[in-house]
Amino acid sequence: MITTAAMAAAVLAPLVAAMFTAAVGWRPIAAWSSVAASLAILTSGIVLAANVGAGHVYAGGHLLRADALAAVMTIVIGSVGTLATWGSITYLDAELRHGHTTPARARTYGILVPAFLAAMALAVLAGNLGLTWVAVEATTIATAFLVGHRRTRASLEATWKYVIICSVGIALAFLGTVILYFASVHAGGAGGAAAAGGGDGGGLDVDTLTANATHLDPAVTRLAVVLLLLGYGTKAGLAPFHTWLADAHSQAPAPVSALMSGVLLAVAFTTLLRVKVISDLALGPGFLRTGLLIMGLGTLFVAALLLVAQRDYKRMLAYSSLEHMGLLAVAAAAGTELAIAALLLHVLAHGLGKSVLFLSAGHLQLAHGSTAIADVRGVLARGPLLGAAWAAGLFALLGFPPFALFASEVGMARGAADAKLAVPLAAALVAVVIAFVALTLHGGTLLLGSAHPEQPSLRLSAAAAAPLVAGVVACVAIGVVATPLDHLLTTAARLLTP
């Protein structure tokens, strides 16, 4: 009962916040309702983690399903959502003061952000791959309007690119879902009867598909898996369908960029993890591994090379997210328990670190009216707190200890080595080193470079600083005291490595 209530709360709480903002408009009480909804998602994730830590799977009617992976991702959505909605309060107020938005657009923002959170929560808690597709499509609709929030030429261009490319990806995922349903319904033996007898879409039920994966027709399943990889890979920002990512993440409001980079990409990728379980059982582990390695390594090298040439700090952070998604793909290809557990820790740690950086970038953009690295120098000297937050987020992103990305990257590397993927691992490490150097140089220039005398002060109010401080504390806490998560991550990895 408590797990069903937790699942329902994770989806319904942000919807209530969205409706409340629609009724009252953008004002402090509405803004804080979104923060409260994010905290409700986080609390739901913790409750679910306490109940599924032993490997249990709970169903919430015919629609919702909670296991260790769902609990981990609900915690990620709640954590990053809390920082993003908290940071939105001062960010949007500053946008209104500077004339970058209007009260009507602020109201739309206040409606769409919690709706976006609800869609992501539904995507990870859905017990049916058809419902997962609907939820992921809903995230595209909500974020399309958020990317174009400022209504500038660049933001509208980014919106159209995002909509067109992701719509193609979602269409491929839809076709793959339909074909997988066909394979499920027409599977031989008891699996086919059970699937065909379910008038409620049981052929796409995650547990049904997993239990009867060996009965699926290999040729049909192979086609479905390829389409799902391409479709959800597009939404996750994997090459060669990554071209929307930097434009959308750089043009969206900073808190929305934090949600898109820190959570949305991972939500799409965890859908691929669900598909991987079915694919491994039906086709063997080698089939999807090949696709993940090709897309993962391609993504890593594209991101590394684009980071070298990058001159815009928000696009730099977007390409960094591209790099990390490539790492997740390589870890998923390895498929060992260690690699998957490290992958999930990486998702959480990256989401928190990237949130700190994007929220910091938002303050820099508001102060300078520019996202060019050349226009923003000497941040640490002009704003010690903002500079310290940027430095902490950058160190976390680069994988320095004691931040959790150090442990997750070591774990993913060990998992790839255990899976006999020495050559792909070596190639991935080359790309990671290139990206590391590029991020260090660009981030260091912004932080320590000589500032122009006329550049503004970057001192933050207490309200603006609070979410940054909370994010840095969370990054350090996850890195230093990750023990409470160990069992949950291991349990999730065991479920994903049949």
Model confidence over 400-453: pLDDT tens digits? 988 999 999 999 999 999 999 999 999 999 999 999 999 999 999 999 887 777
Instruction: Identify the pLDDT of residue 99.
Output: 85
CA atoms within 13 A on the CB side of 334: 32
Residue 45: half-sphere exposure toward Cβ, Cα within 13 Å: 27
Cα–Cα distance, 269 to 368 (Å, whole number): 35
pLDDT band of 187, cuts 50, 70, 90: confident
Query: Between 483 and 273, whose confidence is greater?
Result: 273
Query: Is residue 58 classed as helix, strand or coil in its secondary structure?
Result: strand
pLDDT recorded at residue 339: 97
Q: Up-side HSE of residue 54: CA atoms within 13 Å toward CB?
A: 3
CA distance 417 to 296: 16
| Mean pLDDT value across residues 322-341 | 96
Can you tell me the distance from the alpha carbon of 476 to that of 471, in angstroms, rounded to the nearest whole number?
A: 9
* pLDDT value for 186: 86
Say which range, 69-73, 96-100, 252-256, 273-277, has the weakest mean pLDDT.
96-100
Spatial distance between the Cα atoms of 335 and 313, rounded to a whole number of angstroms: 33
Residues 6 or more apart whose CB falls under 8 angstroms from that of 103 comprise 25, 26, 96
Terminus-to-terminus CA distance in the chain, angstroms?
A: 28
Enter the pTM of the model.
0.95
Structure confidence at residue 4 as a pLDDT band (50, 70, 90): very high
Residue ranges of domains in the chain: 2-495
Q: CB atoms < 10 A from the CB of 384, how many?
A: 13
pLDDT band at 267; cut points 50, 70, 90: very high
CA-derived radius of gyration, the chain: 21
Tell me the mean pLDDT in the region 289-311: 96
Which residue do the tokens 């239990």 mark? 211
Residues 6 or more apart in contact with residue 317 via CB below 8 angstroms:
249, 257, 261, 354, 357, 358, 361
HSE-up of residue 108 (Cα within 13 Å, Cβ side): 17
- Write out pLDDT tens, residues 32-53: 999 999 999 999 999 999 998 7
| Cβ pair 128, 201 in contact under 8 A | yes
Q: What local confidence, expressed as pLDDT, does residue 306 receive?
A: 96
Query: What confidence tier does 196 reach under pLDDT thresholds 50, 70, 90?
Result: very low
198 pLDDT exceeds 70?
no
Average confidence (pLDDT) over 293-303: 97
84 CB-contact burial (10 Å; exposed 0-12 / middle 13-18 / buried 19+): buried
pLDDT of residue 455: 77
Gap between the Cα atoms of 437 and 447, Å rounded: 15
Residues sharing a CB contact under 8 Å with residue 394, sequence separation 6 or more, in sequence order: 357, 439, 443, 447
Q: Are the C-beta atoms of residues 401 and 331 closer than 8 Å to each other?
A: no
Euclidean distance between CA atoms 409 and 414, whole angstroms = 9
Query: How many Å separate Cα 75 from the centre of its chain?
Result: 12
| CA nearest to 339, candidates 494, 498, 124 | 494
Q: Which amino acid is at 399?
A: G
Q: Is the dihedral of CA 461, 465, 466, 469 positive or negative?
A: negative
Which of 123, 133, 120 lies closest to 177 in space, CA to CA? 133
Contact (Cβ atoms closer than 8 angstroms) between residue 232 and residue 271:
yes
Give the pLDDT score at 450: 79
Give the pLDDT confidence score for residue 100 in this predicted structure.
83
Alpha carbon distance 304, 230 (integer Å):
21
Consecutive H or E run containing 66: strand 64-66
Q: Are 471 and 356 in contact (CB under 8 A)?
A: yes
Q: What pLDDT, on the 0 to 100 scale, is given for residue 284?
A: 94
| pLDDT at residue 1, as a whole number | 77
Residue 54 has pLDDT above 90, yes or no: no
Structure tokens that stand for 406 in this block: 């150090």
pLDDT tens, position by position, 370-382: 999 999 989 998 9
Residue whose C-alpha is closest to residue 490's, from 277, 274, 343:
343
Residue 451 has what pLDDT?
Answer: 72
DSSP class of residue 214? Answer: G
Handedness of CA 117, 118, 119, 125 (dihedral sign): positive
Closest among 348, 330, 320, 361 to 263, alpha carbons compared: 348
Bridge partner residues of 372 (DSSP): 312
Token pair for 242: 């990554």
Cα separation, 280 vs 16, in Å, equals 39
Q: Give tens-digit pLDDT for 455-466.
A: 788 889 999 999
* Mean pLDDT, all residues of the chain: 93
Confidence of residue 197 (pLDDT cuts 50, 70, 90): very low
Q: Which of the residue ranges 83-92, 185-194, 229-238, 315-324 would you say has the lowest mean pLDDT? A: 185-194
Q: What are the residues facing 58 on neighbouring strands?
A: 66
Backbone phi, psi, residue 457, to 5°: -70, 150
SS3 65: strand
